[in-house]
Amino acid sequence: MSKSTRTLLAFLTGAAVGASIGILYAPDKGENTRDRLAFRLSKYREQLQRLIADLVDSADLPESLAKTEGQKVVDDAREKAERLLADVETLMGQIKGR
């Protein structure tokens, strides 16, 4: 995980904890406080899930890109090898025919 990702995650965690503590100590009815806390926590959960999904997508990108590029190289090498084998077989046939 990169430094900026860890910093962002720490910031979001701190914000969630700070907001939760602030709500708990706010002068309001317990039911209202719990409702607000549940609402905010669900919002933070959604944000965190989006962040995790973005991180997973960005982490998979280089790997899948590397696999794709690697597969292209392998396919290209295979095609060239098959052409070389075909040329060798043609030459062998010509040599045997003489």
Q: Is a pLDDT exceeding 70 seen at residue 95?
A: yes
End-to-end CA distance of the chain: 66
- How far are the Cα atoms of 11, 16, 42, 47, 59 from residue 5, in angstroms, in the given order? 10, 16, 21, 14, 12
The 10s digit of each residue's pLDDT in 47-76 is 878 877 777 666 666 666 777 788 888 888
CA distance 46 to 43: 5
The 10s digit of each residue's pLDDT in 2-48 is 777 778 778 888 887 787 777 667 677 778 777 777 787 788 888 87
Is the full-model pTM beyond 0.85? no
